[in-house]
Structure 1
């Protein structure tokens, strides 16, 4: 099932959490190394813009990359827009969130080809789902891993299991990921938080290994936090 409605709810939750954010708080450091809250907001906003552009063009039968280096330098855009006011961040994030949701509402074939990740339009929905919930934790605006929906946690572990070293399996109840003997166990939420780098493994049992890189098929790996977000 394509979780477009679930992403809309994640958008709504994030927008509500950002309502009291001040300009001073925008300039404060985030858990991501070298990034302020403004950098995180700029990243989430521009990712929404890029996904909306990709989906809108796909609906017209035009294939574009998520980030065209000739017209959109992702890192430069983040640096240029990170220092905006809290209100400017809220306004642009909402604008591109609405654009993306409106574009998804017009999709009739989620298997339609796009130049992104697994080559299907559906991948844009799952990518945004991860983007919003994971970076909502990085923003430290009252949203933590305990707020992640259960179905999102399962999806996050499914997506991030490629970070596990060979020969290691993880398990939550009857659900098992990876190959080899089970070495790490815990709740799906605790596994998702650990695999996404948003905790150091709180609530997990077993020897926690060093994780591999973020899956980057057709995309770009987000920065890992220097310390776990609350």
Structure 2
């Protein structure tokens, strides 16, 4: 069962971690490339802030973004700002998200995200947690997939495995870290591929942040996953 209050607290803690780490940067390093192609660290910080406001929209029954082009334009507009402005924006937008999450609400209701995706309102805090944690890694400032909370890594693997389950372009695949096992891809009585590795490497492959070179593959080659 999803515990939205627990996830809201986890989002708050993750936001503090990224703020503390980013505070060690300077204006020059904020303008340097992040690990995301075409984005500086300023783009990543701007996205973290604007995503918080977008998810407030979701919780309050408004469209997540007015348009896809406006989402992109807002990030481009905010990316060049100096570090102190970036940090203040991440902090203040994060507080707005926490306030929206604390408001009395029916957490079992269905909400709409980008591109017509729908989900339970109760999962919105976890979706925000994903944004903060993975984009902290994307900043490339010493926080790695191995540093993610164990609970987060397991749940995000669960989430991504579910997302690819039944996808016609993904072969029937079993994943294991030696303790837990997951199945994803096309339905089959027997997996076509078994992928084994550390949780951080499994997550990195599933979320497109690692190429899977550290994973062991039994069967066909490592499946190519569709973009998220």
Normalising by the residue count of structure 2, what TM-score does the alignment of the two structures yield?
0.83
Q: CA deviation at 1:98?
A: 0.8
Deviations 1:145-193 (A, max 9, x none): 1111111111211222234712222122232222524520122222112
Judge conservation of contact 2:195–2:216 (CA < 8 Å) in 1.
Answer: yes
**Inter-partner Cα distance in structure 1 for 2:118 and 2:158:** 15
Is 1:109 aligned to residue 106 of structure 2? yes
Q: CA deviation at 1:22?
A: 0.7
Deviations 1:23-54 (A, max 9, x none): 10111011111111111111111011111233
Normalising by the residue count of structure 1, what TM-score does the alignment of the two structures yield?
0.83
Q: CA RMSD in A?
A: 2.0
Gaps of 5+ in 1: 58-62, 215-230
2:26 is matched with 22
Structure 2 residue matching 1:110: 3-state secondary structure: coil
Q: CA deviation at 1:82?
A: 0.5
Between 184-193 and 105-114, the greater mean CA deviation after superposition: 105-114
Is 1:64 aligned to residue 42 of structure 2? no
Judge conservation of contact 2:193–2:222 (CA < 8 Å) in 1.
Answer: no
Gaps of 5+ in 2: none
> 1 or 2 for the larger relative contact order (CA 8 Å, sep ≥6)?
1
**Inter-partner Cα distance in structure 1 for 2:180 and 2:144:** 25
Aligned pairs (5 A) from 1:88-167: 88-116=85-113, 117-161=117-161, 162-163=163-164, 165-167=170-172
Structure 2 residue matching 1:54: 3-state secondary structure: helix
- Residue of structure 1 aligned with 2:175, choices 167, 170, 182: 170
Report how many aligned residue pairs link the two structures.
207
Is 1:211 aligned to residue 225 of structure 2? yes
Q: CA deviation at 1:202?
A: 5.0
1:44 is matched with 48
